[in-house]
Amino acid sequence: TRRVRTRDLIAAKERGERWSMLTSYDQYTAGIFDAAGIPVLLVGDSAANNVFGYETTLPVTAEELLPLVRAVVRATRQTLVVGDLPFGSYEEGPTQALRTAVRFMKEGGCHAVKLEGGRRCAAQIAAIVGAGIPVMAHIGFTPQSEHTLGGYRVQGRGDAADEVLADARAVAEAGAFAVVLEMVPGEVAKQVTAELSIPTVGIGAGPDTDAQVLVWQDMAGLRTGKAPRFVKRYADLADALTEATRRFADEVRGGEFPAAEHTF
Ligand code: KIV
Ligand code: NA
């Protein structure tokens, strides 16, 4: 088996086949998701929250993300790995964006990059695509602009649907191979998906996008505390890990671990 290519994802859309994407930030999850047949992994800037413990995605840097990108690429054989460009690394314009994207491809070894923004980032997307680097766009709610958007809020309600549509057209026109639609009404996502020939990847965007993405710790229930409404938990890793940790601590305290079979 070979790695998934961006053209495979566009072909899947033409066949009406849906696919899934997860975030990954380390070798074990990357290897498991790859073997389980997830075609696209995103080393998201959500590592800011889910790996580094920052409150928002704003502080995370390329220096912090690149080692995680390398780990995910090394641990996978079939998955297309997308590296997420962090806040501050592409907003200045096409030159800065291309410089950062090249770094992610060379130093991270990923197969595509992602950045946030529709019309306002069309020039950046065109420059990166023009250099031969596939770009996944990200519109709707874009966490790096949460201070402008007024927190985690659905985008594109009512008349604002036109804004989402205009952003979607702009990123497709600029050459993006796919576009993430985050927290937009299901009807808007459906309309964008029908109109674009590139795949849409929904998160909190209803059932009619071509693909779905979740943060893996949300999907697997490792996240503690309240998750957004669009998350479905497919496992309870936080509970499983808490239980395992308590048993380990108890067995050490009680002298049951290590036993003879663990002893040289
Ligand atoms: O960083 C991230 O996890 C993302 C996805 C949720 C799309 O951008
Ligand atoms: Na992100």
Does residue 238 contact residue 222 with C-beta atoms inside 8 Å?
Answer: yes
Quick: pLDDT tens for 146-189.
999 999 999 999 999 999 999 999 999 999 999 999 999 999 99
CA of 25 to the centre of ligand 2 (A): 12
**Do 195 and 87 share a structural domain?**
yes
Residue 84 CA, closest ligand 1 atom number? 1
Average pLDDT, the chain: 98
Q: Which of 73, 135, 74, 76 is nearest to 102 (CA)?
A: 135
Distance CA 233, CA 227 (A): 9
Distance CA 139, CA 18 (A): 20
**Do 171 and 81 share a structural domain?**
yes
CA of 200 to the centre of ligand 1 (A): 14
pTM of the model: 0.98
Active site residue 187: no
The confidence score (pLDDT) of residue 1 equals: 82
132 Cβ neighbours under 8 A, 6+ residues apart:
none
225: confidence class by pLDDT, cuts 50, 70, 90: confident
Into how many domains does the chain fold?
2
* Residues flagged as binding site: 45-46, 84, 114, 116
Beta strands in the chain (DSSP E): 19-23, 40-43, 80-84, 112-116, 135-140, 178-182, 200-203, 211-214
Residue 251 within a domain = yes
**Do 253 and 140 share a structural domain?**
no
Distance CA 115, CA 85 (A): 5
Residue 144 within a domain = yes
Q: What is the CATH number of the domain that holds 214?
A: 3.20.20.60
**Do 136 and 247 share a structural domain?**
no
Q: What is the dihedral of CA 98, 100, 102, 103, to 10 degrees?
A: 170
**Do 187 and 72 share a structural domain?**
yes
- Ramachandran class of 164: left when φ > 0, alpha when ψ lies in -120 to 50, beta otherwise: alpha
**Structural domain span for residue 11:** 6-233
Quick: pLDDT tens for 113-151.
999 999 999 999 999 999 999 999 999 999 999 999 999
**Do 224 and 252 share a structural domain?**
no
Residue 41 within a domain = yes
**Do 245 and 156 share a structural domain?**
no
Surface-to-core class of residue 156, CB atoms within 10 Å of its CB (0-12 exposed, 13-18 middle, 19+ buried): buried
**Pocket of ligand 1, beta carbon within 6 A:** 23, 42, 44-46, 84, 138, 180, 203, 213, 215
Task: Calculate what percentage of the chain has a pLDDT beyond 90.
Answer: 98
Quick: pLDDT tens for 56-73.
999 999 999 999 999 999
Mean pLDDT of 30-45: 98
CA of 15 to the centre of ligand 1 (A): 26
**Do 136 and 44 share a structural domain?**
yes
Find the ligand nearest to 44 CA: 1
**Do 242 and 143 share a structural domain?**
no
Residue 83 within a domain = yes
Residue 114 CA, closest ligand 1 atom number? 8
Find the ligand nearest to 219 CA: 1
**Do 116 and 33 share a structural domain?**
yes
ipTM, two decimals: 0.99
From the candidates 182, 195, 251, 261, give the one annotated as an active-site residue: 182
Residue 50 CA, closest ligand 1 atom number? 3
Quick: pLDDT tens for 87-123.
999 999 999 999 999 999 999 999 999 999 999 999 9
**Do 245 and 225 share a structural domain?**
no
Quick: pLDDT tens for 208-218.
999 999 999 99
Does residue 214 contact residue 203 with C-beta atoms inside 8 Å?
Answer: yes
Task: Answer whether residue 224 shows pLDDT above 90.
Answer: no
